[in-house]
């Protein structure tokens, strides 16, 4: 990880950096700091979606799926729909990778809000109320003509990345900010974030996916990188790749980079970023 430090000007304002909203306010109010949180974390810092639901036991049910800005409600050939849910869950910030050994095999990642549409219940609370942005993925074995799969509940995750967010068996409220890439052996990797919106814990995540002989994608458990519970640290903007040059002395090595924001533990002011 390359480090670049920029001292923050003295601040008389205090920020609650246990929350994403407090961290965002600190960063945005730091004079001379030329970067801010990723668009994804800025969106997640907005807590307006946590307002009281007038129908708390009902998942969202839009009238139609808005897939195209050109025709409004449908996708016309040669375009195809990658996300397979039919309840109009939001997916954004897509990333895509092609297997270097099989041009017909494609994996896409996104911030996936499909859990907000789940109708299941956990201890009397609807899954849709527990859901948030999750680490989503889809795959195609025919050059992008058809895609798999859909996640419907915690026991049927489809190709949601397992083990990061709570409804997938993980420990974080939310996740995403995805990046996907292949190595030269046909393995695919997903890099993203895991975090709580109103509490301090956050991490960078790395998951490895493999394809079986039938072409089905299976994700393994995540590796947490830079995991922290400190309100003074925020991991953001992960990116990753592998060295696929067979002549390289580092052939097969995986590289993960990210931005780490450091906050003053006394008043929450942004000290620097790395």
Instruction: Share the mean pLDDT of the chain.
Output: 88
Per-residue pLDDT, 5: 45
Q: Is the pTM of this model over 0.85?
A: yes
> What are 187-219's pLDDT values in tens digits?
999 999 999 999 999 999 999 999 999 999 999
Residue 181, token pair as written in the block: 């890439």
Is the per-residue pLDDT at 178 higher than 70?
Answer: yes
74 vs 233, which has greater pLDDT? 233
At residue 52 the predicted structure's pLDDT band, cuts being 50, 70 and 90, is low
């Amino acid at each position: 990880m390359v480090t670049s430090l920029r001292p923050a000007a003295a601040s008389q304002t205090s920020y609650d950096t246990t929350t994403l909203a407090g961290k965002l306010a600190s960063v945005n109010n730091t004079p001379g700091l030329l970067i801010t949180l990723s668009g994804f974390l800025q969106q997640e810092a907005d807590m307006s979606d946590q307002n009281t639901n007038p129908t708390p036991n009902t998942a969202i049910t839009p009238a139609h799926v808005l897939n195209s800005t050109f025709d409004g409600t449908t996708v016309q050939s040669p375009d195809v729909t990658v996300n397979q849910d039919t309840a109009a869950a939001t997916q954004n910030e897509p990333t895509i990778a092609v297997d270097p050994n099989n041009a017909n095999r494609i994996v896409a990642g996104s911030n996936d809000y499909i859990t907000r549409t789940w109708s299941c219940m956990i201890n009397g609370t609807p899954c849709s109320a527990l859901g948030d942005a999750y680490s989503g993925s889809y795959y195609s074995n025919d050059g992008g003509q058809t895609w798999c799969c859909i996640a419907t509940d915690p026991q049927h995750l489809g190709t949601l990345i397992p083990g990061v967010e709570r409804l997938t068996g993980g420990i974080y409220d939310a996740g995403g900010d995805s990046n996907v890439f292949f190595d030269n052996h046909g393995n695919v990797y997903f890099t993203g974030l895991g975090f709580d919106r109103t509490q301090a814990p956050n991490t960078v995540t790395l998951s490895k996916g493999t394809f079986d002989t039938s072409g089905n994608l299976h994700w393994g458990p995540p590796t947490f990188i830079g995991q922290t519970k400190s309100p003074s640290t925020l991991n953001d903007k992960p990116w990753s790749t592998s060295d696929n040059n067979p002549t390289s002395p580092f052939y097969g090595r995986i590289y993960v980079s990210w931005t780490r924001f450091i906050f003053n533990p006394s008043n929450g002011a942004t000290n620097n970023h790395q």
